[in-house]
Amino acid sequence: MTRMHKHHHVERHFTASELIRDIVIGMSDGLTVPFALAAGLSGSVDSTTLILAAGGAEIAAGSIAMGLGGYLAARTDAEHYETEFQREQQEVIEVPEREEEEVAHIFRQYGLEEPEVQSIVATMRNHPDKWVDFMMRFELGLEEPDPSRARNSALTIAISYIVGGLIPLLPYLLISRPASALTISAVITLIALMIFGYVKGRFTGTAPWKNAFQTTIVGGLAAAAAFGLARLIS
């Protein structure tokens, strides 16, 4: 007897892109800006206490500003969705013929025959709520945002910024000489950028090592530019 083996196909799709985006925004800035500030001060002050105080103040202000920015961006997306949703509801009532033609046009692009297209249009006509939802997704490319998105985005970005900002400041807690602490800070910041890029690549399904080197190079250049400006100002 021949045994038939059924292979179950498991689709693995990454569905937390918004979360990862917020972490990337917070961590990348948190790693580079406090490092640049501490590095700039390392050449002009002899006390790591002052550097830590300035770095801590920057992390506090930066995390609040970045978190607020994430909150406002998410609120803007939600308001945009609501505005377009109300417009689609109105159009389905006031100009149904035009909306029906838009539905038909979408399905014709997928190669459906005209009887099938008209059957779908008739179904949409009988279900206005589903019709509006379809138009939002396939005509405008908009997904209904999570009601807690703004709050979660703000918290994720702020916490990621704090975590990223503490890494380059850690050597200044353990080493009393600013110049020595700066060297260690630069090394661990670059290592953290590489690890962060690798983990990001693993989560998003892209080449981890490629992401690691790209993140290290981009983050390193950003930190170097910010360091140069900080030293120039100081």
- Residue 128 belongs to some domain of the structure: no
What are the CB-based long-range contacts (under 8 Å, 24+) for 125-131? Answer: 125/96, 125/100, 128/89, 128/92, 128/93, 131/92, 131/99, 131/103
Q: Indicate whether 8 pLDDT > 70.
A: no
- Residue 82 belongs to some domain of the structure: no
d(CA 18, CA 24): 10
Q: Domain count for the chain, please give it.
A: 1
Q: For residue 6, what are its two tokens? A: 């059924």
- Residue 186 belongs to some domain of the structure: yes
- Residue 57 belongs to some domain of the structure: no
pTM of the full structure? 0.76
- Residue 84 belongs to some domain of the structure: no
First to last CA, the chain: 83
Contact 36, 187 (CB under 8 A): no
d(CA 65, CA 68): 5
- Residue 175 belongs to some domain of the structure: yes
HSE of 183 in the Cβ direction (CA atoms, 13 Å)? 5
Range of the domain at 21: 17-47+154-233
- Residue 119 belongs to some domain of the structure: no
Residue 223: which residues within 8 A CB-CB, separation 6 or more?
A: 31, 32, 35, 36, 39, 189
- Residue 8 belongs to some domain of the structure: no
Instruction: State residue 152's pLDDT score.
Output: 92
- Strands (E) across 34-151 are located at none
6 or 89: which carries more pLDDT confidence? Answer: 89
Q: What is the mean pLDDT of the chain?
A: 83
d(CA 85, CA 89): 6
Encode pLDDT of 184-207 as tens digits: 998 898 888 888 888 877 776 678
Contact 125, 100 (CB under 8 A): yes
Average pLDDT on 147-175 reads 92
HSE of 12 in the Cβ direction (CA atoms, 13 Å)? 4
DSSP 8-state assignment for residue 16: -
Instruction: State residue 61's pLDDT score.
Output: 94
46 or 82: which carries more pLDDT confidence? Answer: 82
